[in-house]
Structure 1
Amino acid sequence: MTTESRPGLRERKKQRTRDAISDAAIALFVERGFNEVSVARIAEAAEVSKRTLFAYFPTKEDLVVHRMADHETESARVVRARPAHTAPLDALRDHFLDGLRRRDPITGLNDMPQIRELTQLIFRTPALIDRMQRFRAGGERALTEALCDTTDAPELIARMASVQIIAVQWALSMENFERLISGETADARYPDAARSAEQAFALLANGLATVG
């Protein structure tokens, strides 16, 4: 084994441990409820010590919400990476529509059982709802910074735009999730989901036309 390969092996081993802990935790939470499962029980199921568990996940809520961590600053990344002469709102609309086509879980349009169970777990658990609100606020801050950095919008305008954009994205995602929970399939829901997204972003454009 070369010296250069060891860091990669260590990282893969750490990722496998992280995944095993999270998988064990979510399976227990879905089966028994978030508040009914202790950290000690999760560590036992994952075959790690409590110390190891907390090294990977500082709080119990992190065992769940880390699955969505990459999405917190996703809108900001889309704005920063958008093609030249593309308005931020257009880039975000196209990205959301692409997420619907790909059945990205963050759009609410994914009916895989494990995704549905995870989402239901989050929205029936007050502690996890609170974490998701902080997640949403972090997304608003990151998008505000991206708009300030890549457009001539003043900070106040960028902040108000970010609040509206993130709120619309969440509302669209929740509508899709609730429709799937009520019995619709993702494929059946898709045409209406895409149409709703187009309409929602068009409404935003009426008030945010000057951004960018």
Structure 2
Amino acid sequence: MSTSENGSQPRFFEYSASMIRMGLRETKAARTRQQIVDVALGLFLDRGFDQVTMEEIAEGAEIGTSTLYRYFPSKDLLILDPLLSFTELGDRLRERPRDEPLEVALGAAIRGSLVDFTRAPVTAEVRRIVDTTPSPRAKLWDIMATSRVDLESAVADRMGAPIDDVGVALTSRMMMVVFEMVAEAWWAGDHTRPIDEAVDETLGRIQSADIVLPGAYAVTPLRAAAS
């Protein structure tokens, strides 16, 4: 391999060094982020969510407060971190092969998100804190709404339908319902059952269930009849 005209190493080595530096920065950032989460969750579980300050989290993670806020702008986002695998449903669906049957792709997207979700050993304890603390609970609902829009976009693309199609909306919401049902079963159980089995059982129960959809008015509404 030839060198450049001034005798320096070729650009290939410049690009390689740049990529290595970028990879190291990303690795360090990921490690710092995980350290912050671990410290914060430990404090939340030990002392309670409202009793812990961002300054104490930064001190425990051995970083500056400004650095902490760059990673997590609020305590709500910190405690919600282990619970946000459902936000990946849209991306996981987009990763599935285009020629894969839609129902198979939907199931695979749910399984992939739930596997990451159930790996966190403190997930159940964190969920109990969130369920009883108004601020992170409200933030979780906001994130769920945003994630649902992204999921609807991915489902619409796979179905070849407009994003406001009722089938797209129902399919997307059903995915989130299945995710929630399996997660709740896992929280309530002994956490040792393979997640694939839990997903398949939940899907089987849904497919065999007698589901009654709300119907349109069968009679003239009272307001119209009185006018």
TM-score category (smaller protein): 0.7 to 0.9
Cα-to-partner distance string for 1:46-82 (whole Å, 9 max, x where unaligned): 12221111111111112122344454032x2343333
Q: Which runs of 5+ in 1 are unaligned?
A: 208-212
Higher helix share: 1
Contact 2:86 2:176 in 1 (8 A): no
Could you say what secondary structure the match of 2:122 adopts? helix
What amino acid sits opposite 1:90 in the alignment?
Answer: V
State the Cα distance separating 1:200 from its structure 2 match: 1.8
Moved segments of 4+, more than 6 Å: 204-207
What is the one-letter code of the residue matched to 1:30?
A: L
- Alpha carbons of 1:189 and 1:165: their partners in 2 closer, same or farther (altered >3 Å)? closer
> For 2:91, which of 70, 77, 86 is the aligned residue?
77
Q: Distance in 1 between matches of 2:210 and 2:151?
A: 15
Equivalent residue letter for 2:180: W
| Structure 2: tracts of 5 or more residues without a match | 1-15, 214-227
Farther-moved stretch of structure 1 (151-160 vs 77-86): 77-86
Sequence identity percentage: 24
RMSD over aligned CA atoms reads: 3.3
Confirm or deny: 8 A CA contact 1:93 1:198 kept in the other structure.
no
Q: From the CA coordinates, give the structure whose radius of gyration is larger.
A: 2
Which of residues 93, 116, 126 in structure 2 aligns to 1:118?
Answer: 126
- Superposition TM-score, scaled by structure 2 size: 0.70
1:52 alignment partner, one of 51, 67, 77: 67
Partners of 1:202 and 1:146 in 2: how far apart?
A: 26
CA contact (8 A) 2:82 2:123 kept: no
Residue of structure 2 in register with 1:210 after alignment: none
| Higher deviation after alignment, 7-16 or 65-74 | 65-74
Q: Distance in 2 between matches of 1:128 and 1:94?
A: 29
Q: Is the 8 A contact 1:176 1:193 kept in 2?
A: no
Post-superposition offset of 1:90: 3.1
Report the equivalent of 1:159: 169
Matched residue of 1:127: which SS?
A: helix
Code of the aligned partner of 1:195: E
Q: Distance between the aligned counterparts of 1:172 and 1:33, measured in 2?
A: 27
Distance 1:126 1:204, change over 3 A: farther
- 1:82-131 Cα shifts (integer Å, max 9, x gaps): 3345443332224445777xxx253xx66x74333333333332222222
Query: In the superposition, relative to structure 1, how do residues 4 and 196 fare at CA in structure 2: closer, same or farther (>3 Å)?
Result: closer
Letter of the aligned partner of 2:26 in structure 1? E
1:170-189 equivalent positions in 2, closer than 5 A? 170-178=180-188, 180=189, 184-187=190-193
CA distance in 1, matches of 2:147, 2:171: 12
- 1:91 maps to which residue? 105
1:14 partner letter: A
Going from structure 1 to structure 2, the CA distance change for 1:169 and 1:53 (only over 3 Å counts) comes to same
TM-score (norm: length of structure 1): 0.74
